[in-house]
Amino acid sequence: MNNRHDKILFWGCFIALITTSYAFISRMILCGGQFKTDFGLDNVVVGELQGAGIWSFGVSIIIFSLFIDRIGYKVAMIYSFVSYLAYTGMAVMAYQTIHGVTDPTALAAAQKHGYQLLYWGSIILGLGNGTVEAYANPIVSTMFNTDKVKWLNRLHAGWPAGLVMGGLCTIALAKNTDWRVNLGLILIPAFTFFLILIGKQFPKSEREQAGVSYLAMLKELGVFGAFVGFGLVFAQLGQVFGWSQNVSWILTGLVVLAFAAITKSFGRLLLAFLIIIMIPQATTELGTNGWITALMEDPMKAAGYNAAWVLVYTSAIMLILRFCAGPLAHKFSPPGLLLTCSALAGLGILALSHTAHSGIGTIFAAATLFGIGITFFWPTILGLTSEQCPRGGALTLNAMGGIGMLAVGILGAPFLGYMQETSTTQQLQTANPALYQQVTMKQNYLLGAYEAIDPAKSATVTDAKSQADLQAATTAGKFSALGKMAMFPLFTFACYLALIGYFKSKGGYKPVQLDSK
């Protein structure tokens, strides 16, 4: 392909990623706002609706990667475009279902029907979003296979670009009650990337061009990668559809046995190491980032600003810096850049954990340090994976993204909640033992039992001192738990230090090149 064609193809993929993140953030904002009001949803149902577009996102990245080379990137692109049309259409139908209905009985039935349209539309949207990742990543890594880290960072600048657009549109439409306008804006980037890409010739994957077989690709992922990737897929589906953990383990075991029989390979050891790193790294970026954004929203609202400006600010930083990743990766090497990012993210978390009683300027300064640290995490580890494990093709490249996303939802986010609850109850036990006995309850999650504040019991607390103690413990627990989160970037820092030592022992970091047939 000529360079001009490749650049046009790149920008089409970039706009597709903008569509993905705009669709993601606009839906998340509406779920907690107008969807909740218009369809009479409680917080649990809101969480289910939000989750419908997230778990399907992570699952589809991994599943599509198994056969995307077979069906072709253009077919996957068309599918993603159709998913945006379907979601928008179903959401508009949901709006029409309840619009103008005043009878309470009829409205309740309409809300139930409308919610089902939104729920299944969100699943379709999530599958389409994951498909964009599944074809865009290997297309870009194939076209620019001599500079993957640079171009994957540029590609993934499309994600914060979509968040900036979503945040600005949210601010502009804050007083607009017809949310069809907000959702309809998704179709602008969707039609744009479709019209750019539909007439273009899509490349065969780097793996296919080099004559690397499908079996060799599976061997690169191997038993370990299959265990982690599909273990997370089945664990997520089990949570959604109510399977027992035993069913998830059995399904995972069957896939692992199939991989063992077919590939007879544990998997590439370097890839296994990167998978281990990806879980705490993704938790640092996605899990902690949402927490930190929440910390900044209260002082923003108190100052009279729309909280969406927080999203615009942090996303704009990420958007700009990801276009600067190329020179940094060349100067430091991808492992060196990730080592630096781990250090900055850890320092940013520690700084933020000491801002409980600080002003908005101090919070933003610490958040900026953290934001710079996580900017290069996701696309750079994808680039590192693609440069060092090119025989794995789309499967290993996209499995890393899918594992990171699913790990946050299944392991990372619950662990963050566990740390926050245990930190809060420990603070309360020290400050007010009697109140601690009154408002705590026993809970269980994947990694064991813990104590948490019972919302129903805490609502019965009426005296001023106890309310103040409870609020103080909650705030102190939140910031204490945030400080403990520094363990994750500290772990990745140690891993990247070891990885730098490994590459140094082999004569320095060098991308693995596959020779085309």
**Could you report the per-residue pLDDT of 54-94, keeping only the tens digit for each?**
888 888 999 888 888 888 899 999 999 999 999 999 999 99
Per-residue buried b or exposed e for 262-295, using 16+ beta carbons within 10 Å of the residue's own CB: ebebebbebbbebbbbbbbbbbbbbbbbebbbeb
The Cα–Cα gap between 413 and 158 comes to: 24
On whether residue 253 sits in a domain, the answer given is: no
- Which of 201, 219, 240 is the C-terminal boundary of a domain? 201
Q: Is 246 exposed, middle or buried (0-12, 13-18, 19+ CB in 10 A)?
A: exposed
**Could you report the per-residue pLDDT of 130-182, keeping only the tens digit for each?**
999 999 999 999 999 888 999 999 999 999 999 899 888 878 887 777 888 88
Q: Are 307 and 297 in contact (CB under 8 A)?
A: yes
pLDDT reading at 203 higher than 70: yes
Dihedral angle of Cα 132, 134, 140, 141, to the nearest 10 degrees: 160
Band (pLDDT 50/70/90 cuts) for residue 445 is: low
Same domain? For 81 and 189 the reply is: yes
Averaged over 374-393, what is the pLDDT? 93
- DSSP-assigned beta bridge partners for residue 452: 441
Token pair, residue 455, equals 């919302």
Q: Are 424 and 482 in contact (CB under 8 A)?
A: no
Identify the three-state secondary structure at position 52. helix
- Which of 175, 201, 227 is the C-terminal boundary of a domain? 201
On whether residue 1 sits in a domain, the answer given is: yes
Using a cut of 0.95, tell me whether the model's pTM lies above it. no
On whether residue 345 sits in a domain, the answer given is: yes
Same domain? For 193 and 272 the reply is: no
Same domain? For 303 and 402 the reply is: yes
Per-residue buried b or exposed e for 363-402, using 16+ beta carbons within 10 Å of the residue's own CB: bbebbebbbbbbbbbbbbbbbbbbbbbbbbbbbbbbbbbb
On whether residue 217 sits in a domain, the answer given is: no
Same domain? For 187 and 273 the reply is: no
Same domain? For 168 and 294 the reply is: no
Band (pLDDT 50/70/90 cuts) for residue 287 is: confident
pLDDT reading at 516 higher than 70: no
Total domains in the chain come to 2
Same domain? For 174 and 279 the reply is: no
**Could you report the per-residue pLDDT of 392-408, keeping only the tens digit for each?**
988 999 999 999 988 88
Token pair, residue 125, equals 């949207």
SS3 per residue for 339-354: HHHHHHHHHHHHHHCC
Residue 388 CB contacts under 8 Å (≥ 6 apart), including other chains: 270, 271, 274, 511, 512
On whether residue 229 sits in a domain, the answer given is: no
Per-residue buried b or exposed e for 41-74, using 16+ beta carbons within 10 Å of the residue's own CB: beeebbebbbbbbbbbbbbbbbbbbbebbeeebe
The Cα–Cα gap between 138 and 9 comes to: 12
Same domain? For 193 and 306 the reply is: no
Same domain? For 302 and 438 the reply is: yes
Band (pLDDT 50/70/90 cuts) for residue 409 is: confident
For residue 107, what is the domain's CATH number? Answer: 1.20.1250.20
Identify the three-state secondary structure at position 195. helix
Band (pLDDT 50/70/90 cuts) for residue 43 is: low
- Of 250-254, 261-265, 465-469, least confident by mean pLDDT is 465-469
The Cα–Cα gap between 94 and 302 comes to: 34
**Percent of the chain having pLDDT more than 70?**
95
Q: What is the pLDDT of residue 290?
A: 64
Same domain? For 133 and 274 the reply is: no
- Which of 177, 201, 225 is the C-terminal boundary of a domain? 201
Same domain? For 151 and 25 the reply is: yes
Q: Are 152 and 386 in contact (CB under 8 A)?
A: yes
Same domain? For 298 and 417 the reply is: yes
Q: Is 465 exposed, middle or buried (0-12, 13-18, 19+ CB in 10 A)?
A: exposed
Same domain? For 304 and 158 the reply is: no
On whether residue 35 sits in a domain, the answer given is: yes
Pick the closest to residue 153 from 171, 131, 137 (CA basis): 137
On whether residue 445 sits in a domain, the answer given is: yes
DSSP 440: E
Packing angle of the helix pair 377-388, 104-143 (nearest 10 deg): 50
The Cα–Cα gap between 356 and 275 comes to: 34
The Cα–Cα gap between 436 and 469 comes to: 10
CA dihedral sign, ordered 366, 370, 375, 376: positive
Higher-pLDDT residue of 498, 458: 498
| DSSP-derived secondary structure for 88-99 | HHHHHHHHHHHT
Q: Are 97 and 110 in contact (CB under 8 A)?
A: yes
The Cα–Cα gap between 137 and 264 comes to: 27
Pick the closest to residue 367 from 378, 357, 354, 380 (CA basis): 354
Q: Which domain holds residue 406?
A: 268-506
On whether residue 73 sits in a domain, the answer given is: yes
Residue 386 CB contacts under 8 Å (≥ 6 apart), including other chains: 137, 141, 148, 152, 396, 397
Q: What is the mean pLDDT of the chain?
A: 87
Q: How many CB atoms lie within 10 A of CB 320?
A: 12
Identify the three-state secondary structure at position 448. strand
CA dihedral sign, ordered 495, 501, 505, 506: positive
